Amino acid sequence: MNDSAPVLHSLEDGVLTLTLNRPDSLNALNAPLVIELKAQLEAAARDADVGAIVLRGAGRGFSAGGDLREGATPRWHGDAANAHEEWRDSLRGAMEASRLLHQIQKPTIAMVRGPAAGAGLSLATACDLRIASTTAVFTTAFVKVGFSGDFGITYFLTRLVGTAKARELMFLSDKLDAAEALRIGLVNRVVPDEALEAQTMAIARQIANGPRIANRYIKQNLNAAEEGRLEPMFDMEATNLTRTRLTQDHAEAAKAFLEKRPPVFKGK
């Protein structure tokens, strides 16, 4: 592994760990980092050995958000009349990283210590679960730099904490400690900093070693439930459960239940 790469990756026990690797800037997002994160997620989507994905930051923070040193000096090709469209298209392409975290057919977990701000918070909210250290600090930050928000923060934050709280957090950009983030439902669990990695990886391994086909359909159902109407949601659940009923993992689980032992899932 190249330790100077903008995103580090390691795969162990079915868990792919992706580490945002710009610790000197609190893992601020720049073009090389986002491009590499997207590439790693696209590769993970095709990798049958990956059962769960953990996203973390190197050093003392998760991510401070977009790198303003780059954002303040945009680069585009062509005349100034096309600058707006080129910037928009470039940003929209970068935001695919959040879409992949949300839609990839594998559970994703954000492991957060220290700051998660701006687009860094957006990436964390795009994940299925968020495990926070007691050192974690969360803030939307966008309004403080005159931005309206990107990387899906509007979509994900509203669904996690509700519309009233999301508006408060976006307009006021208060800093939330881990305890408050847990209280409002922004994170799933808060653990001591020294236990963060061990407890996050234990959760990730539990998911990765579970019935991966069922996990894929569970995530599909949950994503659809955020927007879908009741009847189509019932149809999807019925279809997906029928699919999982035919898997070897289900047969193994039923057999293990009768034999009073833990099941051993193979992802088939």
Mean of the per-residue pLDDT values for the chain?
Answer: 91
Q: Is the Cβ–Cβ distance between 178 and 132 less than 8 Å? A: yes
Q: What is the pLDDT of residue 1?
A: 55
Residue 72 in this model has a pLDDT that exceeds 50:
no
Q: Is the Cβ–Cβ distance between 10 and 47 less than 8 Å? A: no
| The residue to which tokens 């099941």 are assigned | 263
Q: What is the pLDDT of residue 150?
A: 92
What are the pLDDT digits (tens) for 1-25?
A: 568 899 999 999 999 999 999 999 9
Rounded Cα distance, 22 and 8, in Å? 10
Q: Is the Cβ–Cβ distance between 129 and 160 less than 8 Å? A: no
Residue 86 in this model has a pLDDT that exceeds 50:
yes
What are the pLDDT digits (tens) for 251-265?
A: 988 888 789 899 989
* Encoded tokens for 63: 């991510």
pTM, two decimals, is 0.90
* Encoded tokens for 119: 């687009």
Q: What is the pLDDT of residue 46?
A: 96
The type of residue at 228 is: G
- Close Cβ partners of 144 (under 8 Å, ≥ 6 residues apart): 173
Q: What is the pLDDT of residue 67?
A: 85
More confident residue, 217 or 233: 217
What are the pLDDT digits (tens) for 148-179?
A: 889 999 999 999 999 999 999 999 999 999 99
Q: Is the Cβ–Cβ distance between 209 and 252 less than 8 Å? A: no
Edge-to-edge, what's the strand order for the sheet holding 129-133? 7-12, 15-20, 52-57, 108-112, 129-133, 189-191
